[in-house]
Amino acid sequence: GDSVTQMEGPVTLSEEAFLTINCTYTATGYPSLFWYVQYPGEGLQLLLKATKADDKGSNKGFEATYRKETTSFHLEKGSVQVSDSAVYFCALSEGGNNRLAFGKGNQVVVIP
Amino acid sequence: DAGVIQSPRHEVTEMGQEVTLRCKPISGHNSLFWYRQTMMRGLELLIYFNNNVPIDDSGMPEDRFSAKMPNASFSTLKIQPSEPRDSAVYFCASSSRGANVLTFGAGSRLTVL
């Protein structure tokens, strides 16, 4: 079935550094792609989304581009802040029923 | 809107006890999802409802787990009897059909001793 793979392990970086979190997907059709963020002690929140190939989702300085040729949706931010410390989940929609398949998530820790 | 409301936020219970988790979705949303989050398995979809009807419960671990949605504004996830391996954070999420975006509650952290 449809699935999402995120890079292994936590990410630790200094404030103002460049952040990249890799996400690749496997799907039989043309899914919508999402990044959700989970701050400590909270539920997941939608960060950005893209619904078709070459779309770029963006929010709060984060960007991700739907790349059909490489089946990827990598998350990037040019200059991270301590407040960006959270767990980031890549996800895709399965069909038209709003059901999401999530990756395992990446813990991001930004050090002052 | 107050968002998706879950209760309790934290529950500590002993093995063998019944646990009931509750969820109030966003008014007007017609899809509701129950997820479980653990360090080992990440986020797992347990069950989801469309218009109060269970559509797919293939993620429910075993018969000890059951979920109901008696009306559009309330759902429960019940574990009976509970076991230590059920310890996790359980999330409820809701969406409106066609919106393709889930709104999550803050979660219920369950600890079974």
What per-residue confidence (pLDDT) applies to B45? Answer: 92
Q: pLDDT tens, A30-83?
A: 899 999 999 988 899 999 999 999 999 999 999 999 999 999 999 999 999 999
Q: How many CB pairs below 8 A link A and B?
A: 52
Cβ-Cβ contacts under 8 Å, A42 against chain B: 106-107
Rounded-to-integer distance, Cα B73 and Cα B87, Å? 26
Cα distances (angstroms) measured from residue A101 to each of A50, A78, A89: 15, 27, 10
Average pLDDT of the segment spanning B15-20: 97
Q: Could you tell me which residues come within 8 angstroms of residue B94 by beta carbon, excluding any fewer than 6 positions away?
A: B4, B25, B26, B29, B31, B32, B33, B102, B103
Residue A30: predicted pLDDT: 84
Mean pLDDT, rounded, of chain B: 93
Each residue of A94-105: pLDDT tens digit? 766 678 889 999
The whole-angstrom separation of Cα A86 and Cα A105 is: 10
B86: confidence class by pLDDT, cuts 50, 70, 90? very high
Of A32, A93, A97, the CB nearest to B50: A97
The residue of chain A with its CA nearest to that of B103 is: A45
- pLDDT above 90 for B19: yes
pLDDT in tens, B51-77: 999 998 989 988 999 999 999 999 999
- Render pLDDT for B89-99 as a digit per residue (tens, 0 to 9): 999 999 987 77
pLDDT at A97 (0 to 100): 64
pLDDT level of residue B41 (50, 70, 90 thresholds): confident
User: Band of the pLDDT at A14, cuts 50, 70, 90?
Assistant: very high
DSSP A104: -
The verdict on a CB contact (< 8 Å) between A105 and B4 is no
